[in-house]
Amino acid sequence: MHDIDALSLREMADLQRRGRLASRDLAEHYLARIAERNPRLNAIIEQTPPERLLAEADAADAALRRGRLLGPLHGVPLSLKDACHVRGFHPSRGVRELHGAASEANATVVQRLFDAGAVALGLSNVPEMCMAFDTDNLLYGRTLNPHDPERSAGGSSGGEASAIAAGMSPGGLASDACGSVRVPAHFNGVCGLKLTQWRAPLTGQFPHDRSGLFHLSSSFAVMGRGVDDIALLGALISGPDGQDPDTVPAPFRDYREQPLSALRIGVWQESAGPAQPSAATSALLQHAAALLDGAAASVTDIVPPMVDEAFDVLWKVLVLGGDGGRGWKQLFGRMGKTAFSAPIAQLLEWSAELEMSVDELRAALVMRDTVRHRLAMMFRDIDVLISPVYPDVAFRHRESLREPGAYRYVFPFSLSGSPAAVIPAGRCPDSGMPIGLQLVGRHWDEHQLLAAATHLERLLPAWRPV
């Protein structure tokens, strides 16, 4: 018997290959967990019927008996964020008015996971339109944080993070435009990886492949229990598909071949304002820096350039729209949507109060390019930047937009398109809630930040399901 919670995704497939674990064992394990824990947490909102999941597991076992390994995820169950098409499932993006017919085809990134041998556990919950850091909507309701049901699971990948943290899924597909993977990973004590923007195609994103201004920061992402899980999933979904014209054919290098001793580490910690980290967050960041000191080439304090400008552009242009709210109103009007969750109602109110002139919008788009360039220049001096994800532990429900400035650590790297990972670093001694750290790298160099993350993971407390 194997402790399935202690196995990486690679180990699950390898044990099957060696005849020491069956795909049916995995399916039955996660079906039992979902039955036990999901009614309370509400993380999986459309589950694969048990009989179908078991049949797919049996098919994977039969293939192996014939000597056929389906791929590096042979028979491994994964959960999938409700933000893309999955054949046979009913996507909604958390919007009642968008929930309808089943998808007829898979998003490219979903198909790549299936081609690697994975089977679907189901769709995980999101906030309405994936536009909040608290997972709640009028269609499926609220997802709870398994560490403390009174606290947020984060968003927009809150359902995915909650499911993994509770041991209902070993990993899965998510997305990140403004911190949607990184904040939930931090809140729930799991790993997340936002790929370099344009590394993975957005073909099959729901409801549209192209998402207007949001396309400037949108990226598919992955979540898991350990660094190797997100490294494997990230590599599998990467690469052009011949349909998304923005996807770049950049190689996804193996982090296991990156010597830590060659990496220059920068440590960023704010000391004032809404992003001032809690004492527990600061202590864990300094502990991580100490664990890298002596193992990496260098560890130095650094403050990224133009953080305020990056935050301002992303918030005003990509989130609020800068058009007096007309874009959001037109979008919801086409849906026939008149009732809104509290965060969307707040965004609509703020959007209506902000109307930028053509000159102001032009200046903001120029500023975006300037920020991207300046951050790229920062990575001439360091290879990996480590920072908090959020100033404190998960907030309580309905506080998603209480202080937008608190997302100061994640917004700049959404605007720049930089790859970024989050790993659990420890717990707050007062609340017992998990605290994660963000590791950011230069474009296309995920292997470097993953190498640093792996070093830390080996020295930090091991992950266990809540």
Give helix 227-236 / helix 108-115 axis angle, nearest 10°: 110
pLDDT grade, residue 374 (50/70/90)?
A: very high
Torsion sign, CA atoms 253, 255, 260, 261: negative
Residue 458: which pLDDT band, with cuts at 50, 70 and 90? very high
pLDDT in tens, 82-95: 999 999 999 999 99
pLDDT at 196: 98
For the segment 368-386, the average pLDDT, to the nearest whole number, is 98
Per-residue pLDDT, averaged over 388-416, amounts to 96
Report the range of poorest mean pLDDT among 271-280, 337-346, 398-407.
271-280
**β-pairing verdict for 77-81 and 219-224:** unpaired
Closest among 113, 120, 117 to 238, alpha carbons compared: 113
Predicted confidence at residue 378, as pLDDT, reads: 98
Asked if residue 57 has pLDDT above 80, the reply is yes
What is the DSSP pairing of strand 420-427 with strand 264-267? Answer: unpaired
Residue 210 has a pLDDT of 84
**Which residue is listed with tokens 């042979």?**
74
237-269 per-position pLDDT tens digit:
999 999 999 999 999 999 999 999 999 999 998
443-447 mean pLDDT: 98
What's the whole-number mean pLDDT along residues 367-387? 98
**pLDDT at residue 129 tops 90:** yes
Interval 284-329: pLDDT, tens: 999 999 999 999 999 999 999 999 999 999 999 999 999 999 999 9
pLDDT at 201: 97
Tell me the C-alpha distance between 185 and 69, whole Å.
31
The strand pair at 148-152 and 384-388 is best described as unpaired
273: pLDDT confidence band, cut at 50, 70 and 90?
A: confident
Q: What angle do CA 76, 105, 8 make, to 5 degrees?
A: 15
pLDDT over 70 percentage in the chain: 100
pLDDT tier, 213 (very low <50, low <70, confident <90, very high otherwise): confident
pLDDT bucket at 214, cuts 50 / 70 / 90:
confident
The CA-to-CA distance between both ends of the chain, in Å, stands at 21
| Residue 66 pLDDT exceeds 90 | yes
Predicted pLDDT at 186: 98
Q: Which token pair is 361?
A: 């919008």
> In this structure, what are the phi and psi dihedrals at residue 81, rounded to the nearest 5 degrees?
-65, 140
pTM, to two decimals = 0.98
Q: Which residue has the higher pLDDT, 213 or 230?
A: 230
**HEC per residue, the chain:** CCCHHHCCHHHHHHHHHCCCCCHHHHHHHHHHHHHHHHHHHCCEEEECCHHHHHHHHHHHHHHHHCCCCCCCCCCCEEEEECCECCCCCCCCCCCHHHCCCCCCCCCHHHHHHHHCCCEEEEEECCCHHHCCCCCCCCCCCCCEECCEEEEECCCCCHHHHHHHHCCCCCEEEEEECCCCCHHHHHHHCCEEEECCCCCCCCCCECCCCCCHHHHHCCEEEEEECCHHHHHHHHHHCCCCCCCCCCCCCCCCCCHHHCCHHHCEEEECCCCCCCCCCCHHHHHHHHHHHHHHCCCCCEEEECCCCCHHHHHHHHHHHHHCCCECCHHHHHHHHHHCCCCCCHHHHHHHHHHHCCECCHHHHHHHHHHHHHHHHHHHHHCCCCCEEEEECCCCCCCECCCCCCCHHHHCCCHHHHHCCCCEEEEEEEECCCCCCEEEEEEEECCCCHHHHHHHHHHHHHHCCCCCCC
Q: Model confidence at 211, in pLDDT bands (50, 70, 90)?
A: confident
Q: Is beta strand 77-81 parallel, antiparallel or unpaired with respect to 171-176?
A: parallel
pLDDT in tens, 159-184: 999 999 999 999 999 999 999 999 99
The maximal CA–CA distance of the chain, rounded, in angstroms, is: 65
Average pLDDT over residues 376-385: 98
Residue 77: predicted pLDDT: 98
Render pLDDT for 404-414 as a digit per residue (tens, 0 to 9).
Answer: 999 999 999 99
Contact by Cβ (8 Å): 76, 119: yes
Q: Which of 218, 211, 209, 133 is nearest to 177 (CA)?
A: 218
pLDDT in tens, 318-369: 999 999 999 999 999 999 999 999 999 999 999 999 999 999 999 999 999 9
Give me the pLDDT at residue 372, please.
Answer: 97
Instruction: Give mean pLDDT, residues 117-139.
Output: 98
Q: What is the pLDDT of residue 87?
A: 98
Mean pLDDT of the chain: 97
User: Which pLDDT does position 266 carry in this prediction?
Assistant: 98
Q: How far apart are CA 229 and CA 226, in angstroms?
A: 5
Please report which confidence band the pLDDT of residue 219 belongs to, taking 50, 70 and 90 as the band edges. Answer: very high
Lowest mean pLDDT among 54-58, 219-223, 274-278: 274-278
